[in-house]
């Protein structure tokens, strides 16, 4: 018969000797590494798959009125008849003629949004904000912005981005970190950083195409980079090197230098007269209901 020992149990039993903070750090690092690896693999897969999808399939799926509503039905009707949007469409149609193999029917959509922006959307849609129209000083620089977006269609970048986003969402769901919260935010950031190099390369190719379109339309590329000269430099907020890395578009000064190098390499004429912004693209008069307030 064993003798009963009333002593206290050994407090080292079932207790890890590793610092819990260090363990948490390893778990976070492991999660980030897994997300980055899977995001890179999925991105490469989408880079291979998307260019092989027929354009007709894309247009049949996204060519209709799938874009978010601008507001009430009345607002949408007035927007479709907005002279600014009609003038944008006319300019885009002209620029699209310099891409003879264009399989899309380019369609412009104007958003009443103060932040200057333009973006290519599936189905041949190009979104432009009113804030961008308010800031452009010549038709030439606006033509470059639109030519840049057309370049994204030529390279199928808009679908690649959509595909990578879907793939990343599937990865996050499989890891159980989809939704909201710190884990989801951290995993999303890791996946975004992993894809950033693809985005920067695509931006450079779209810039090259947009520059060629401007040269073909006006006979020179003067004014093409003027819009970017007036944009705030993200490096002022994040630090120059970090800003250049995190920004989807390169920082303003870097992008201007790259455009100048592209123009020289392609032998484009860099001086010429600038066309004024068409009067129809200037901000329209306020609605009667707003003017009477």
42 in a structural domain: yes
Q: Which residue has the tokens 């100048």?
A: 260
Q: Which residues pair with 109 in a beta bridge?
A: 127
Dihedral sign for Cα atoms in the order 65, 69, 73, 74: negative
**Average pLDDT of the chain to the nearest whole number:** 73
132 in a structural domain: yes
For residue 12, give both structure tokens: 């080292």
Render pLDDT for 201-253 as a digit per residue (tens, 0 to 9): 888 899 999 999 999 999 999 999 888 887 655 444 444 444 443 445 566 67
123 in a structural domain: yes
Q: Specify the pTM.
A: 0.69
Residue 15 vs residue 102, higher pLDDT: 102
278 in a structural domain: yes
87 in a structural domain: yes
8 in a structural domain: no
Q: Is 113 a catalytic residue?
A: no
The residue annotated as part of the active site, out of 58, 139, 149, 203, is 149
The number of folded domains in the chain is 1
Q: Is the pLDDT of residue 197 over 60?
A: no
14 in a structural domain: no
Domain containing 175 equals 23-62+72-284
Instruction: Characterize 165-196 residue by residue with b for buried, 16 or more Cβ atoms within 10 angstroms of its Cβ, and e for exposed.
Output: eebbeebbeeeebbeeeebeeebbebbbebbe
Residue 129 has φ and ψ, to the nearest 5°, of -90, 155
52 in a structural domain: yes
Q: Are 278 and 88 in contact (CB under 8 A)?
A: no
């Amino acid at each position: 018969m064993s003798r009963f020992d009333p002593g206290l149990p050994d407090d080292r039993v079932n207790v890890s000797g590793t610092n819990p903070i260090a363990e948490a750090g390893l778990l976070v690092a492991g999660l980030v590494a897994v997300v980055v690896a899977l995001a890179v693999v999925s991105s490469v897969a989408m880079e291979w798959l998307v260019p092989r999808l027929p354009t007709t399939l894309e247009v049949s799926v996204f060519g209709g009125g799938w874009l978010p509503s601008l507001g009430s039905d009345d607002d949408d009707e007035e927007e479709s008849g907005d002279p600014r949007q009609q003038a944008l469409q006319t300019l885009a149609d002209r620029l699209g003629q310099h891409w003879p193999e264009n399989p899309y029917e380019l369609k412009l959509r104007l958003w009443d949004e103060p932040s200057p922006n333009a973006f290519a959307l599936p189905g041949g849609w190009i979104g432009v904000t009113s804030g961008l129209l308010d800031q452009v000083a010549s038709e030439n620089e606006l033509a470059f912005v639109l030519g840049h977006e057309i370049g994204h269609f030529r390279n199928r970048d808009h679908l690649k981005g959509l595909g990578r986003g879907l793939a990343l969402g599937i990865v996050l769901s499989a890891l159980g970190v989809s939704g909201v919260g710190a884990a989801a935010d951290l995993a999303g950031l890791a996946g975004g950083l992993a894809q950033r190099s693809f985005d920067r390369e695509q931006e450079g190719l779209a810039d090259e195409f947009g520059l060629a379109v401007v040269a073909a339309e006006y006979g020179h590329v003067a004014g093409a980079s003027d819009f970017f000269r007036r944009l705030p430099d993200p490096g002022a907020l994040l630090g120059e090197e970090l800003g250049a890395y995190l920004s989807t578009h390169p920082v303003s000064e870097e992008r201007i230098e790259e455009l100048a190098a592209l123009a020289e390499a392609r032998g484009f004429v860099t001086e010429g007269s600038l066309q004024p912004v068409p009067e129809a693209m200037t901000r329209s008069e306020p609605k009667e209901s707003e003017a009477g307030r």
